[in-house]
Amino acid sequence: MVETRGYKCEEHEVITEDGYILNMQRIPFGLAGEAPRKRPPVLLQHGLLMDAITWLLSPPDQSLALILADSGFDVWLVSSRGTKYSLSHQTLSPDNAAYWDFTWDELAAYDLPASIQFVNDFTGQKLHYVGHSQGTLIALASFSKGQLVDKLRSAALLSPIGFLGEMTSPLARIGVESFISQKCMILNDNILLPRDIIKFALYWLGINEFNPRGDAVIQLLMNICKNPGVDCTHLLTSFTGANCCMNSSIIDVFLRHEPQPTSTKNMIHLSQMVKGGTIQMYDYGNEDENNKHYGQPTPPVYNMKNIPKDFPLFLSHGGADALSDVKDVQHLVDNLKDHDKDKIVVQYIENYAHADYVMGVNARETVYEPLMAFFRLY
């Protein structure tokens, strides 16, 4: 996805404190070649059920990773634990239930710090950060504990997720009810029909691993999308909201690579956030278990008001986003009301939904150029 477009790509491995081995790619410079000056590093962190290819799905002049490389940045891409390129562990196999015993709490506590520390050590520089969706959640969780900001120049949060209580996505809402009740929905591969789209989007391939990428599911979707007159951008609408600015041809590219697995426990944790309207650690469901894990009967809360007030933040959200809902983002912004006014930018794009931020044909002009201008201030 990088070298075939004429860019240099390096492979790196990052080992987290709890033993997961993350795959990381570096694009050290753009098509113009290496420059004599040091390039500021930037780490791109994908969202839920995605991997680092998120940033490479569009043509080169529309893909954020390549735009950044061509604009003078040293670009680093990382894939979270459990995804196709980060399935390794020092002692555990993905076939082992213990491998999948994580939620975004662990991504915030282990994956993100290890990734940022690696880039910081390798380049000898502080870095910029870009997160999308869950990639914003884990950053906010870390920042609220005062972590990582000393290694970062700034952070750009696209479709920021701090709170989920107002989420309007119909498909995600159905999923929330399923995960909260912890009931498995398993369909026979032989009877998947177009009318089952909502059901098989929630299809569980295992108790511990949540993998929506079953071969039968992906093949069916690709077959449907090849039919004349079928615009498969609408398949995303019931999950992400009505994306305004995606080319329908990108769905075929998307389905070749995404979606990616995560843990069932992570899906339950996100569902707890929707039901509770809070941002807190995983709730084990009873006081004894919570006491065992946290030393208190209820899960600790991530307090957004504790994010250092002088840390530069660029937030961009869309009016049509059914996952990062406008009301939830406003709740987050209200928590940041004491942030230094010259260190926070909140961009609102009325017709943007969740996937427009990583696959929109006009995202370069609408989001990425303002994002890079913000980075250049720091």
pLDDT, tens only, 278-321: 899 999 988 999 999 999 999 999 999 999 999 999 999 999 99
CATH architecture under which domain 3-377 falls: 3-Layer(aba) Sandwich (3.40)
- Considering the candidates 283, 321, 328, 356, report the single residue annotated as catalytic: 321
Predicted pLDDT of residue 195: 35
CA 79 – CA 176 distance, rounded (Å): 24
Region 38-54: what's the mean pLDDT? 95
Residue 190 reports pLDDT greater than 70: no
Q: Are 257 and 53 in contact (CB under 8 A)?
A: yes
- This prediction has a pTM of 0.87
CA 41 – CA 88 distance, rounded (Å): 25
- Considering the candidates 115, 133, 154, 316, report the single residue annotated as catalytic: 133
Q: What is the CA radius of gyration of the chain?
A: 20
Q: Are 289 and 76 in contact (CB under 8 A)?
A: no
Taking alpha carbons only, the member of 13, 14, 70, 8 closest to residue 42 is 70
Tokens matching residue 24: 């990381």
Predicted pLDDT of residue 111: 98
Predicted pLDDT of residue 243: 81
Listed range (85-89, 139-143, 191-195) with the worst mean pLDDT: 191-195
CA 246 – CA 114 distance, rounded (Å): 33
Residue % of the chain over a pLDDT of 90: 66
CA 125 – CA 137 distance, rounded (Å): 24
- Considering the candidates 128, 269, 354, 356, report the single residue annotated as catalytic: 354
Predicted pLDDT of residue 196: 38
Other Cβ atoms closer than 10 A to 48: 22
- How many residues in total does the chain contain? 378
pLDDT band at 67 (very low <50, low <70, confident <90, very high): very high
Listed range (155-159, 189-193, 335-339) with the worst mean pLDDT: 189-193
Q: pLDDT tens digits, residue range 128-161?
A: 999 999 999 999 999 999 899 999 999 999 999 9
CA 5 – CA 31 distance, rounded (Å): 9
Predicted pLDDT of residue 236: 67
Q: CB under 8 Å to 19, separation ≥6 — which residues?
A: 89, 90, 91, 92
The H-assigned helical ranges of the chain are: 64-70, 104-106, 112-123, 134-144, 170-181, 197-200, 215-226, 233-240, 250-257, 264-276, 287-294, 326-335, 356-359, 363, 369-375
Q: Is-catalytic flag, 354?
A: yes
Q: pLDDT tens digits, residue range 7-26?
A: 999 999 999 999 999 999 99
Predicted pLDDT of residue 184: 38
pLDDT band at 168 (very low <50, low <70, confident <90, very high): confident
Predicted pLDDT of residue 222: 60
Q: Is-catalytic flag, 321?
A: yes
Predicted pLDDT of residue 315: 98
Predicted pLDDT of residue 293: 95
Q: pLDDT tens digits, residue range 229-273?
A: 545 556 666 668 888 877 777 777 777 777 888 998 898 899 899
CA 131 – CA 112 distance, rounded (Å): 11
In this predicted model, which residue has the larger pLDDT, 192 or 32?
32
**Which residue's structure tokens are 């979270």?**
80
Q: Is-catalytic flag, 234?
A: no
Largest CA distance in the chain: 59
The sign one gets for the Cα dihedral 44, 49, 53, 57 is negative
Tokens matching residue 294: 């946290």
Residue 226 reports pLDDT greater than 70: no
Q: CB under 8 Å to 259, separation ≥6 — which residues?
A: 49, 50, 212, 213
pLDDT band at 198 (very low <50, low <70, confident <90, very high): very low
Where exactly are the structural domains of the chain?
Answer: 3-377
